[in-house]
Structure 1
Amino acid sequence: MTAGEVHRRIVELWPEVLATGRMKEALGLIDPNVIDHRGGTDGDHHGLAAWRAKWERSISGETGFHDMSVEVEQNVADGDLSANIYRSRGTHTASGRRYDVRGMDMIRVRDGRIVEHWAVMDAVAMRHQLGQ
């Protein structure tokens, strides 16, 4: 699969992962030695276990959000890189307030699996919408 195809497929599988907790197919698109460049105080996360833990936190509601979704508005792929502009939506569980913000993410693919991931979301707009 090309980088764009892998990126599209992982986004398509995300709602199923959130709704059912089934991750097997989606995790099959992630390289065991993936680097997830998170930035901020979290820094980079390394390996498939860290990626799985990120998804498990989202599924469990530990992140403080539910009803989360991602809709890709534009994708640009070139060689082993694929970048998305997307809308992220969800509900802050404690307040019931909704957010709807844009973000960007990029992946690097090798042998049909994601080996690197970068993401940035409009955190200022998100905090404003959540009243923070």
Structure 2
Amino acid sequence: MVTAGEVHRRILEVYPEVIESGRMDKGLAFIDPEVIDHRGGTDGDHYGIDAWREKWERMRSGESGFHDVSVVVEQNVATDDLSANVYISRGTHTASGRSYEVRGLDMIRVRDGRIVEHWAVRDAVAMRHQLGLDQ
């Protein structure tokens, strides 16, 4: 049985490649087709693997796209089916060339080796400020 902590570690390992290359198959292999992604804020909840794919596509395209993305986990707490990370996320906004570095927290619920539920909070105010988008 693959634990939630192991799934969390694996998806974070492939995340930069997904954003850089657009090849999502490795990452989507860890996502359940019926996943619920609790994004919070004005985004609210999103349902299904297609919504997850769209989230990743937005992260790499157009005015909202990023590159040089990395995630460094500072702390992980995990049980068999839940895993939570405190992390530092870094990247470069493709359109402006500006970089960001913000702290975030995310948690996943795993069933049968796939993410079935995801919660995430990051310092969006700091990110917008660093990217010059808060003016």
| % identity of equivalent residues | 77
* Residue correspondences, number: 132
- CA distance in 2 between partners of 1:61 and 1:108 (Å): 31
Within the alignment, does 1:113 sit opposite 2:102 as a pair?
Answer: no
State whether residues 64 and 95 of structure 2, in contact with CA within 8 Å, keep that contact through their aligned partners in structure 1: no
TM-score, normalisation: structure 1: 0.91
Deviation, structure 1 residue 26: 1.4
In structure 2, list runs of 5 or more residues that go unmatched: none
Deviation, structure 1 residue 13: 0.6
Give the SS at the match of 1:51: helix
Give the SS at the match of 2:60: helix
AA partner of residue 57 (structure 1): R
TM-score, normalisation: structure 2: 0.89
Q: 1:62 to 1:55 in 2, by over 3 A?
A: farther
What residue number does 1:35 align with? 36
AA partner of residue 123 (structure 2): D
What residue number does 1:71 align with? 72
What residue number does 2:55 align with? 54
What residue number does 2:124 align with? 123
- CA distance in 2 between partners of 1:62 and 1:45 (Å): 22
RMSD over equivalenced CA pairs, Å:
1.5
